Amino acid sequence: MNRLILNVSLKSAFRKIFTFKEGGILLSLIIIYGVVHFLSPNFSTYFNISTIVLDISFLGMVALGETLVLIGGGIDLSIGGIAGLSGIVAGLLMVNSSIPPLACVVMGIFVGTGCGLLNALLIIKLKIHPLIVTLGTGEIFSGLVLIITKGLAIVRIPKSVYFLGQAKILGIPLPAIILIVTLIILQFILSKTVIGRRIFVLGGSEETADLLGISPAHLKFIIYSIAGTLYGFAGVVMVARLTSAQPTIGQYWILPAVAAAVIGGTSLMGGEGTLVGSIIGSAIMRILGNAIIILGISTYAERAVVGSLVIVAVFIDVVRRGVWRMR
């Protein structure tokens, strides 16, 4: 009898994890963490976890922007270009002008907003697929970074901005706190507001949105400019973390950001997605990256290892969706 009760309660606990929307992917994260923790004593140190949390903050920030774009039915491949350009402009202003450093930070972020607006404008007016537009603009923005910096980092960033990338509150890195606040705000917008619901509708069917009087153009301007702001934010905070504006900031962010969103449960087809899932996806990507270094796995094997684990994570999620659907 006791065994029966235990079986039943275990099964319902099991079911509960799997029916919670991000449950499957959270389970994967816990398993991956557990495995790496077991394999290496150096993994769960405060210093290492702190570094991972910092890495997750940057990837998570851009993944949130990408998730918003994907939910709305688009895609944004200009993450690296926007983050880089925002960081460089902020750095340049800080070092070469008398504008207060924090104002330069804000202006750098607004560069990101402007780049996002440009993406939206081109997608709407030229009616070209966002994949192609943002691939192109990403290259343009990255090219501008190289033209401005000639490949060299901008150093002597004022100390007054270091705190953005380096401060800790109650042991938690400030970028992580900024990420959590951003997550809460975006989640609120998506789940409680008219705009949020319309973004889902747009991603589900742009034609339906249009036929029912919702302006796809208006929504796309909002989506891409918010995304651009987030990428710009990440780029500028990275400058504060590195204490220099490197032309390579954001260069390798695009694939992990899209991967984090998809692992987290966001559909590439649009109309479905979860911001929390993308944060979990970012955590999975960064823990795996860290684990490969800590466990001394050959960096040649890194791509194959990460790729295999991405497939496993997505598979778990697909299975979970089957369970959830039966509810």
Partner 1 sequence: MSKKHPVVEMRKVSRSFGFVKALDQVDLTMYDSEVLGLVGDNGAGKTTLTKILAGVYPPDKGEIFWCGKKTNFCNPREARQLGIEVVYQDLALARNVDAVANVFIGREFVKRSFWSSVFKLIDKEREKIETEKILTQLGIELPSVRTPTKYLSGGEQQMVAIARAVYSKPRVLIMDEPTTAIAVKERERLLSLIPKFKERGISTIFISHTLQEVFRVADRIVVLSKGHKVGEGNLEEMNIEKVMDLMMK
Q: Which of 243, 249, 279 is nearest to 263 (CA)?
A: 279
Q: Which stretch binds partner 1 (CB under 8 A): 58-66, 77-85, 106-114, 197-205?
A: 197-205
Minimum distance of partner 1 from residue 326's CB (angstroms) = 10
Closest to partner 1 by CB, 7 or 208 = 208
Reduce the secondary structure of 7-59 to three states and give it as a string.
HHHHHHHHHHHHHCCCHHHHHHHHHHHHHHHHHCCCCCCHHHHHHHHHHHHHH
Cβ nearer to partner 1, comparing 168 with 321: 321
The minimum distance between CB 267 and partner 1, in angstroms, equals 8
| Of 51, 59, 100, 48, nearest in space to 249 by CA | 59
Sign of the CA dihedral with 303 first, then 307, 313, and 316 last: negative
256 makes contact with partner 1 (CB under 8 A): no
Residue ranges in 198-217 that form contacts with partner 1 under rule CB under 8 A:
198, 200-201, 203-205, 207-214
Report how far residue 231's alpha carbon sits from residue 241's, in angstroms, rounded to the nearest whole number: 15
Sequence length of the chain is 327
CB of 242 to partner 1, least distance (A): 36
| Residue choice 9, 44, 193, 308 for contact with partner 1 (CB under 8 A) | 193
* Interaction mask 130-159, partner 1, x per CB under 8 A: ------------------------------
Residue numbers 271-310 binding partner 1 by CB under 8 A: 271-272
For residue 266, the minimal CB distance to partner 1 (Å) is: 12
d(CA 3, CA 16): 20
Inter-residue contact 153 to 247 (CB < 8 Å)? yes
Measured at the CA of 261, the angle between CA 225 and CA 311, to 5 degrees, comes to 155
Report in angstroms how near the CB of residue 100 gets to partner 1 at its nearest.
Answer: 30
Taking the least distance from each CB to partner 1, the nearer of 3 and 127 is 127
Contact 32, 287 (CB under 8 A): yes
Residues making contact with partner 1 (CB under 8 A): 192-195, 197-198, 200-201, 203-205, 207-214, 271-272, 325
